[in-house]
Amino acid sequence: MSTRELTFAQAIREALDEEMARDERIIVLGEDVGAWGGVFRTTEGLFQKYGPERVIDTPLSEEGFVGLSVGAAMTGFHPVPEIMFGDFITLVMDQLVNQAAKMRYMTGGQIQVPLTVRATMGGGRSSGAQHSQSWHAWFAHVPGLKVVVPSTPYDAKGLLKTALREPNPVIFFEDKVMYAKVKGPVPEEEYCIPFGQADIKRAGKDVTLIAISRMIHPTLAAAEKLAAEGIEAEVIDPRTLTPLDKPTLIESVKKTGGAVIVDEGYQHFGATAELAATIAYGAFDYLDAPVERLGALDVPIPFTPVLENATIPDETKIIAAVHRVLEGRRSA
Residues near other proteins (CB under 8 A) are 53, 58-59, 61, 63-77, 79, 94-95, 98-99, 103-112, 143-144, 146, 167-168
Q: Which is nearer to other proteins, 109 or 230 (CB)?
A: 109
| Nearest-approach distance from CB 69 to other proteins, in angstroms | 6
Question: Catalytic annotation on 136?
Answer: no
Q: What is the DSSP-derived secondary structure letter of residue 132?
A: S
Helix residue spans in 235-314 (DSSP H): 246-256, 271-282, 305-311
CA distance 307 to 296: 12
Residue tagged active-site, from 131, 141, 217, 268: 131
Minimum distance of other proteins from residue 217's CB (angstroms) = 31
Q: How far is the CB of 119 from other proteins (least distance, A)?
A: 17
Q: Which of 162, 157, 67, 168 is nearest to 115 (CA)?
A: 168
Shortest Å distance, C-beta 114 to other proteins: 8
Nearer Cβ to other proteins (95/133): 95
Q: How far apart are CA 103 and CA 74, in angstroms?
A: 9
If the CB atoms of residues 52 and 300 are measured against other proteins, the closer one turns out to be: 52
- Closest separation between CB of residue 67 and other proteins, Å? 2
**For other proteins, the closer CB: 58 or 213:** 58
3-state secondary structure of 85: coil
CA distance 310 to 159: 31
- Contact between 148 and 112 under an 8 Å Cβ cutoff? The reply is no
Contact partners, residue 170, CB within 8 Å, separation at least 6: 115, 116, 117, 145, 146, 147, 148, 163
By C-beta, is 143 or 230 nearer to other proteins?
143
Angular region, 171: left φ>0, alpha ψ -120 to 50, beta rest: beta
Q: Which residues are catalytic?
A: 131
